[in-house]
Amino acid sequence: MASPEQHEQEEAKLSRRRQQANDYLKYSGMAFQMGIIILLGVLAGRELDRVLGTKPYLTVAMSLLSIVAALYSSLKDFFRPSQGKDQFK
C-alpha cells in the first residue's frame, strides 16, 4: 500500500503531465489558427487580384494584413491568463 507521501507525489506527477498536455494542445492550436488566418488572407488577396486585375498588389497586401491579424490573435491568446487558475501561483 502506498504511503500518503507517495500518493501526493503521484498526484503531482499526474498534474504536471496534464498541464504539459494542455500547454501542447494550446500552442499547437494557436499554430493551426495562425496558418488558417494567413492562408485565408492569401486566398482572398489572390481572388481580389483576379477580379480587379491588380495582379500582385492585393495578394501582397492581404498577405501582410493576415500575418498581422494572425500575430495579434496568437499574442492575445498567449497573454490571456488561463481560465480557472490563479495567475500568481
Encode pLDDT of 46-68 as tens digits. Answer: 999 999 999 899 999 999 999 99
Q: For residue 67, is it within any domain?
A: yes
Instruction: Look at residues 36, 60, 64 and name the one whose alpha carbon lies nearest to residue 48.
Output: 60
Which residues make Cβ contacts (< 8 Å) with residue 73, sequence separation at least 6? 33, 34, 37
- pLDDT of 82 reads 66
- pLDDT of 53 reads 94
Q: For residue 88, is it within any domain?
A: no
Q: For residue 89, is it within any domain?
A: no
What are the grid coordinates assigned to 33, written together?
489558427
Instruction: Look at residues 15, 48, 43, 34 and name the one whose alpha carbon lies nearest to residue 78.
Output: 34
Q: For residue 26, is it within any domain?
A: yes
Q: For residue 15, is it within any domain?
A: yes
The mean pLDDT of 62-76, rounded to a whole number, is: 96
Q: For residue 86, is it within any domain?
A: no
Tell me the CA end-to-end span of the chain in Å, nearest whole number.
32
The number of domains in the chain is 1
Domain limits for position 60: 4-78
Q: For residue 83, is it within any domain?
A: no
Q: For residue 56, is it within any domain?
A: yes
